[in-house]
Amino acid sequence: MRCGKNPEITNVGGTDGRRVNVLYADTLFLIFEGIAALLETNQPIVENSYGPDKLLDFVQILQVEIDQIVGKVIDSFTMKRQLDKRVKAAERILRDDRHSDNKVGGLAHTDDDFGDIDEERRKRLEEEKVRRKEEREKKLDQLLNRSLVGSKMQELLGNYLLMEQYYMDESIRKAIDTDVKEEGLLSSVVDDVLFLVRKCVRRAMSSGSVDCVCAALNNGVPLLETTFYRHLYNAIQAGYPSTNFATEALQTAQNAYSVIQHGKTAMFFASH
């Protein structure tokens, strides 16, 4: 398979220094692009010569080599980026945290159409259709989700979610700890925290996984509702030490209104 040489790119550090941070993602993209081109070329040949059911057999044969190639890339990424070490460090810190979401999966469905035939034959063909569809879906499910690539990608997504949670939690806490109030601004931490949450959610969206996006939202919302909320509440309480500040503000507004009305009355009598 022509995409088999792509892992060599990771061993020499890539061909573009500006994209070294996404070197492994680029390598996997090239591999999957090559696989897609290979399937697109051979799909009509397999279906016309052997039938549509044999296409999965063809993919299953390819899957053996795909597992080896993609597995090497993921293993290289894990080793050179010290992912295991970082994940263990994050796990120790987040061991007592509230949320964890490692759900990743996908299932493709196939369908067939039957023309107008008599009732008895339709029934038999429908039964056969259901049986074959279940077999294809089961086979496709095993191929996609129980392959070495599928399990490694699920593990990688799980580690990513853990690291994203750690980054969001620590960054927001650091932003709160280093919060500096400037004259004319309520608090610089508001922009910082919202930027961090937005950044994490957008990065999760770039994964193309709905589960990743939901997990990022589930990590961000509790931080906004607890840690960030407590910080803002304490800041407001410090700025308004009186528990009756709303009443005081209303009284001040009423006094100002009375002064304005008194000024209008004085101007009226002066003009007459």
Name the pLDDT band for 199 (thresholds 50, 70, 90).
confident
The least confident of 74-88, 129-143, 166-180, 253-267 is: 253-267
**pLDDT in the model for residue 101:** 33
Share of the chain above pLDDT 90, in %: 0
Give the closest residue to 35 by CA, choosing from 9, 10, 64.
Answer: 64
- What is the distance between the alpha carbons of residues 196 and 169, in angstroms, rounded to a whole number? 10
| Alpha carbon separation from 162 to 29, 32, 45, 166, 227 (Å, rounded) | 23, 26, 44, 6, 19
What are the CA-CA distances from residue 85 to residues 23, 62, 92, 146, 152 (Å)? 20, 33, 11, 26, 17
**How many angstroms separate the most distant Cα atoms in the chain?**
106
CB 263 within 8 A of CB 211: no
- Of 55 and 116, the structure prediction assigns the larger pLDDT to 55
Tell me what the mean pLDDT of segment 104-113 comes to.
30
Instruction: Please state, in angstroms and as integers, the Cα–Cα distance from residue 117 to each residue in 110, 112, 121, 125, 130, following that order.
Output: 22, 15, 7, 10, 17
Is residue 206's pLDDT more than 60? yes
Q: Find the angle CA(163)-CA(194)-CA(175) to the nearest 5 degrees.
A: 70
C-alpha span between 211 and 156 (Å, rounded): 13
What's the mean pLDDT in 117-121? Answer: 41
Q: What is the pLDDT of residues 57-89, one digit of tens each?
A: 888 888 888 888 888 888 888 888 777 777 777
For the segment 80-104, the average pLDDT, to the nearest whole number, is 61
Mean pLDDT, range 161-173, rounded to an integer: 85
Q: Which residues of 168-191 are buried (b: 16+ CB within 10 A; e: fewer)?
A: bbebbeebbeeeeeeeeeebebee
Check residue 190 and give its pLDDT. Answer: 79
Query: Tell me: the pLDDT tens digits for 208-251?
Result: 788 888 888 888 888 888 888 888 777 777 665 555 555 555 56
The secondary structure of residue 226, as a DSSP letter, is: I
At residue 99, the pLDDT reads 37
